[in-house]
Amino acid sequence: MKAWVRSALSVAGTLFGLALTLATATSASAQNVPVRLGVLTDMSSLYADNGGQGSVVAVQMAVDDFKGRVLGRPIEIVAGDHQNKADIGSAITRRWLENENVEAILDVPNSAVALAVQGITRDKKKLFLATGAATSRLTGDECSPTGIHWTYDTYALSQGTTRAISRLGAKSWFFLSADYSLGAQLEADSRKVIDATGGKVVGAVKHPINTPDFSSFLLQAQASRADVIALADAGGDFINAVKQAGEFGVTGGQKLAGLIVFIADIHSLGLQSAQGLMLSSAFYWDLNDETRAWSKRFIEKTKKVPTMIHAGTYGAVMHYLKAVEAAGTLDGPTVAAKMRELPVNDFMTRNGRIRPDGRLVRDMYLFRVKSPEESKYQFDYYQLLAMIPGEEAFRPMEEGGCSLVKKS
C-alpha cells in the first residue's frame, strides 16, 4: 500500500476515533444534565404552612422514591417564593423556563399567580402541575394542554361544604371573600350550589388579601343575620377571620363555614376555636393505613402535619416522572398527554383520571372538626362524614368552557 494511502487511512481513523470519543463524551455529559422541577410557592406569608417548605419536602420525597433519576438523568429541585404577587411569580417562571431549564412547575398556592403561571407555561409548552391553586378557571376558560389541576378546586370545595351545610337547613348566606381570583371563584361556585338548593345570599363583602383586621367585615356579616357566614378565603386570612369572629361573638347565633380549609389552619386555631367546623378536603393524614404511612415519613422530616397540598404535590411529581419514563421524552405536550393517558393510583388517590381539560378527577371527603374531648392523639382533628365520588365533586367537563374539550 502506498505511503500516502496509509497516511490518509491513518488520519481518517484518528478523526473517526476523535468523533466517536466526542460523541460518547457528549452523550455522557447529556446524561448528567439534571432534569429540573420548580416548586413555586409561598415561603413567607399567609399560605406558607399549607404549601411552602412542606411542598419542597414532598417533592424531594417523591424524587427519592423515584431513585433520583429519570431518563437516566439526575433530578434537581429548585424553589421560589412568589410572595403572592402575580408579577413576581411570572418573573420567576420565565427565568426558570427560559434560562434555567426547568421542565415542570408545581404547587403555586395562590390562584392569581397560578393563572399567570398557566399562561406562561402554555406558551412555552412546559408542564404546570397546579397542586396548590384553587380556582376552577384552570380547567375552564384558562385551561392548557400542558396544565394539570391536581389536588382540589373551588368547584369541588363548594360542592362538599356548601351543599352539606345547606342540607342541614341553612337558608341564608353572607360571603366574606378574599378580594382576588380565589375569593371571587370560590364565592361564584358556592353561589350556584346555594341557588340550586333553594338558599339565598343576603350579602357579601370583599377583604384585601393578608388583612390583619376583619372587624368591619365581620360586623357587616353579623348585621346581615344570615344563617351562615361563608369564609371564601384561605390560610392566614381564614385563621384571622375565625379568631376575630370568636372575639366579636359573631358565632353566637350564626354558623361559620370555611370554604377552603387546611389542616394546618385547624392546628393553628386549636380545636377549642375550630371544633364543629365542616370542611371538604382531598386528603386527611389519618384516613387509612397508606395515608398514615406516608404522613409518618412527612412528619418525621418536617415535624408538621401534611396538608392536602403536600400530599398532592408528592402524587403529582410521581405521576409526572412515571409519564416521562413511559413517554421517553421531556417534551411538555407529549408528557402531558401521557399523564392524561395513565391512571392515577397512590396513597391518596384511587383510580383517578386526568380529563382532557386537565382536571384530575378523584374522590373528595367531607369532615367535621373534632372537639378537644374527642381528639385522642396528636393531629387527631377530623371526623369523616362522607366520601364524595369524584364524578359528583368536580364540575362536568362540558360546563367549564375549556377550549380543549371537543363539542359534541
Would you state the pLDDT for residue 248? 83
Would you state the pLDDT for residue 253? 78
Q: What contacts 27, CB < 8 A, 6 or more positions away? A: none
Would you state the pLDDT for residue 5? 47
The structure's pTM equals 0.89
Would you state the pLDDT for residue 22? 46
Would you state the pLDDT for residue 247? 87
- Quote the CA–CA distance of 42 and 339 in Å, as a whole number: 26
Would you state the pLDDT for residue 7? 56
Would you state the pLDDT for residue 27? 45
Q: Which positions of the chain have pLDDT values less than 50?
A: 5, 8, 21-28, 408
Would you state the pLDDT for residue 24? 45
Give the chain as a 3 state SS string. Answer: CCHHHHHHHHHHHHHHHHHHHHHHHHHHHHHHCCEEEEEEECCCCCCCCCCHHHHHHHHHHHHHHCCCEECCEEEEEEEEECCCCHHHHHHHHHHHHHHCCEEEEEECCCHHHHHHHHHHHHHHCCEEEECCCCCHHHHCCCCCCCEEECCCCHHHHHHHHHHHHHHCCCCEEEEEEECCHHHHHHHHHHHHHHHHCCCEEEEEEEECCCCCCCHHHHHHHHHHCCCEEEEECCCHHHHHHHHHHHHHCHHHCCEEEECCCCHHHHHHHCHHHHCCCEEEECCCCCCCHHHHHHHHHHHHHHCCCCCHHHHHHHHHHHHHHHHHHHHCCCCHHHHHHHHHHCCECCCCCCCEEECCCCEEECCEEEEEECCCCCCCCCCCCEEEEEEECHHHHCCCHHHCCCCCCCCC
Would you state the pLDDT for residue 328? 98
Would you state the pLDDT for residue 170? 92
